[in-house]
Amino acid sequence: MERPNIDQRARAVRRVLVIEGLCNLALALTELSVGLMTGSWVLVADAMHSATDLANNVVAWFAMRVAGAPADDDHPYGHGKFEILAVFGLATLMGVLALEILLGVLRGGAAEPVTTGPLSLAVACGVMVLQLGLAYWQNRQARRLESELLHADATHTLADTATTLAAIVGWQIAARGFPWLDRVLAVAVAVFVLALAFQLFRRAIPILVDGAAVPPNDLVAVLRTVEGVAGVGQVRSRWDGTRRTADVTVRVDPTLDAVQAHDIADEVEASLTIQLAFDEVLVHVEPDIGGGPPGEGQ
């Protein structure tokens, strides 16, 4: 299957975000209606959470529109990191949500009397099932489009499913006169959401701080297989969320002319592109004059 180019990928991701946003709007309105009819503050709060998901979709859509833009004078390496910034933002919002749940529990206060019924319970459970289906669909689209943003959003939606389940259980327990267990479940949900946010931070931060896309030893191993490479100098790589870039220095026989050295550089670029799936390779060629700094491969 042919990999879509950056522009096609960005448009596809935006389409997914639009569909998800419409689903979140419908789910939030449905859950809010059930919460208001039954007097359940847990369901109303979870509906407000779904409304923030809609806001996240809008922010992510604009972020992807920027991330899909071509390189320009101000951003010569492209705009791919804007997508990762959106991932970081989603992780931050998830962390804030979890802390708000914890603060709500600590503030205490008696739970308001609530009612329940077969129809309202069925509707609330239907919302949860639809959220689970949405998370599964998002995750498939994230893998297909290789989108960190969609993966983050799918993780967020999965967290929404857990919070909705806890809200339903808490609602039912509160209706039966056991509000204290509702608070225990709220703390458990908060811890779960914090763990998911931490995972997203672990995905986003290495990219934002230009962590290596490939271990340096893997780069050196490939470079040593290229005919004409007499030694390897500095090797660097990075991943901006959409493109893998390598910056390497190789040493060649100093008696070679410019054309021959250029041919070796082309072979280095082709080898890294094919074997390590780099999108862009910058090759520096230096004469091999008897070694380099300690630790460099020969």
Q: What is the CATH number of domain 6-208?
A: 1.20.1510.10
Tell me what pLDDT residue 186 has. Answer: 67
- Average pLDDT (241-267) is 90
**Does the domain formed by 216-287 have CATH 3.30.70.1350?**
yes
pLDDT 10s digits, 153-202: 888 788 788 878 878 887 888 788 776 676 677 677 777 778 878 888 88
Task: Please determine whether the domains at 6-208 and 216-287 fall in the same fold group of CATH.
Answer: no
pLDDT band at residue 1 under the 50/70/90 scheme:
very low
Tell me what pLDDT residue 295 has. Answer: 41
pLDDT 10s digits, 114-164: 678 888 889 989 999 998 999 899 889 888 888 877 888 888 788 788 878
Q: What is the mean pLDDT of the chain?
A: 80
148 burial type by CB count under 10 A (0-12 exposed, 13-18 middle, 19+ buried)? buried
Residue 298 predicted with pLDDT over 50: no
| Segments making up each domain of the chain, as ranges | 6-208, 216-287
